[in-house]
Amino acid sequence: MVPQSELVQAPVADQLESADLRLGRRLAAHRDRPLVKAVAKVGKLSDQEPLYVLSGLLAVTGLVLRRPRLTQAGLTMGLAVAGADLAKSCLKSLVTRTRPHVLLDEARYERNTGGSKAKPEQSFPSGHMAGAVAAASALWRIYPGSLRYSAPLCGLVGWSRMSKGAHWPSDVAAGAGIGLASGAATAWLWRRTAQMAERISSERTPVPILDRVNSARAEAS
């Protein structure tokens, strides 16, 4: 634990972390303002559950309207979000880090190895940012023009998580990295699966039903 008055001098805070904490405190200092609260509510839409719902809706809509690209966008988005969700959960189980609001409200900061079951000590990494970037990355690969809308939205999500006092800037950056990695891994997996399916389909030689019947008769005789 690091008292707020001794934060800069604390041995746990190196230069990079000190800058991270100073910026995080500054961003979260206005978390009670109406605008910040409103944006924070919008940022909740980037949680895993809403993103899974959105992915499912896109996939189903694509099937109904017979638009394969839209179906692919929904499926890959869901896979990318799931990968990001798994990665951030693994990291949270390995790292204990108190959130900015804990420092502001209780004048304490803690960072250590080993996870914590307490929500206020699960700051690293940002799951909302990981999910938002993963979804945007998957959608961008199918619809490149979507980046002009998804990039500002992801930035808004990151700012909302920091201004709310839920995450430090490095938490948000780590979440973005996870989202990008998950989106890239999903695209690679989808491409490899499609190539394998195409190879298997091309190697399969269809046998007419009549030939099968004649072959069966010949074997029986």
Structure confidence at residue 144 (pLDDT): 96
Q: Name, in order, each residue with C-beta under 8 angstroms of 55's C-beta and a sequence gap of 6 or more.
A: 74, 75, 77, 78, 81, 135
Chain-wide mean pLDDT for the chain? 88
Nearest CA among 201, 129, 137 for reference residue 166? 129
Structure confidence at residue 208 (pLDDT): 53
pLDDT band, residue 7 (cuts 50/70/90): very low
> Tokens representing 177?
């990295």
DSSP 204: P
Residue 13, pLDDT > 60, answer no
Distance of CA 20 to CAs 27, 131, 192, Å? 11, 22, 39
pLDDT tens digits, 48-74? 999 999 999 999 999 999 999 999 999
Question: pTM of this prediction?
Answer: 0.84
pLDDT tens digits, 125-146? 999 999 999 999 999 999 999 9
Integer Cα distance of 135 and 150 in angstroms: 9
Residue 121, pLDDT > 50, answer yes
Integer Cα distance of 122 and 129 in angstroms: 14
Residue 111 pairs with which residues in a beta bridge?
A: 97
Q: Name, in order, each residue with C-beta under 8 angstroms of 150's C-beta and a sequence gap of 6 or more.
A: 135, 136, 139, 140
